[in-house]
Structure 1
């Protein structure tokens, strides 16, 4: 109950109503590289991340992975298709050992009908995700790889970063291939771009995360 209270969509419910949610919610654990669901599968449930990290991505016509988002504790997913019964719009895969709270679609839809204020909050979340995707598409069209990578770093820092001195640390085990899949380029191009940033002492990176040395620099990039 205490964990679910942090989610915006449940913020207006009282303890008695939360107990009803507890009765329909279950826990699932996933090891790294296990699929939560795959694109095109029948929509089974709505997921809330208690701990761990989940990668949502699509596969393009050439078989390339296009990362849509990295989701961590406190996130819910999927973000679209609540009202049309469509299949899962992307594949979700655990990056780390992950624990999820799961509510079946039928039960979740019943919650939305019972508590209209939840529906409004879900629509706000969906609207924000659509705006984020529109911004990424515009970046793909109008920006070079360095700009797209910087934008990805800024978004990750805003969503997953912690302040560290004058910089910000992105505490995610993200690979260069993941970056390539996020910004629509090759791993080799990402390698070169990140190495240039390291030479300029803009950032350092290891297997556990990325340290942006100057948060002001990152926030000033357009």
Structure 2
């Protein structure tokens, strides 16, 4: 199946854009190789991106480089340049070969005028973004590092897990610095928590990948 047609059925917001009538000049498809970086000011115009396929990490590049979140298939990113022109401190780095589509602000606003469904889905998406940020702040303020690492592993298992005979293999490679920043901690503390989970036979580390042996016990570690 064609990637874009598969994504069409997978992502309601993307589907609503296409169903509302678009011109080929309204968007641009880009293929990023693993390790390639996309700076949100590259196009010198306002808009946003859909992740059509692949995996990338969003970073705040100034004043201190910092991983903000992982961006997977179906995510809408770079919308800051759509709402607020200054987004030059953000970049997207492909962790796998990744396909993205850039949609112009003019195109999206035209579609919003045509379709109440586009408006509704955009509002729902941005509301989810705000909710996620609120949950992230609450997590950093009120949870232990162990809780946050468990939450991160569960999210990775849900989105990238592949069932094996031993358990659920998180089938992506993330370096320790990236994982630590996503969990709101430092690499040394992350390593200590992962070692503890391994001793409890909750996970098993295989190079840069993690095998979840006991998903129920991992869920308990989130409380």
**TM-score of Structure 1 vs Structure 2, range by shorter chain:** 0.7 to 0.9
Corresponding residue SS for 2:52: strand
In 1, distance between residues paired with 2:98 and 2:17? Answer: 26
Q: Where does the alignment leave 5 or more consecutive residues of structure 1 unmatched?
A: none
Residue 9 of structure 1: aligned partner? 13
Paired residues of 1:50 and 1:99 also in contact (CA < 8 A): yes
In 1, distance between residues paired with 2:104 and 2:48? Answer: 6
Deviation at 1:150, TM superposition (A): 0.9
Alpha-carbon deviations, 1:178-199, whole Å to 9, x = none? Answer: 1111122221221222122222
Residue 70 of structure 1: aligned partner? 70
- Of the structure 1 ranges 120-129 and 208-217, higher mean CA displacement relative to structure 2 is found in 208-217
Residue 53 of structure 2: aligned partner? 51
Residue 168 of structure 1: aligned partner? 168
Alpha-carbon deviations, 1:56-92, whole Å to 9, x = none? Answer: 122575x251x2221122322235564x344337322
Deviation at 1:208, TM superposition (A): 5.8
Aligned length: 217
- Of the structure 1 ranges 94-103 and 39-48, higher mean CA displacement relative to structure 2 is found in 39-48
Alpha-carbon deviations, 1:93-119, whole Å to 9, x = none? Answer: 212221212222221222222212112
Alpha-carbon deviations, 1:134-168, whole Å to 9, x = none? Answer: 11211211222111111211222233334446843
Residue 149 of structure 1: aligned partner? 149
Q: TM-score, normalised by structure 2?
A: 0.81
Q: 1:206 to 1:22 in 2, by over 3 A?
A: farther
In 1, distance between residues paired with 2:190 and 2:45? Answer: 34
Q: Where does the alignment leave 5 or more consecutive residues of structure 2 unmatched?
A: none
1:71-220 correspondence runs (5 A):
71-78=71-78, 82=82, 84-88=83-87, 90-164=90-164, 167-207=167-207, 209-220=209-220
Corresponding residue SS for 1:216: helix
In 1, distance between residues paired with 2:57 and 2:45? Answer: 17
Q: 1:42 to 1:12 in 2, by over 3 A?
A: closer
Q: CA RMSD in A?
A: 2.9
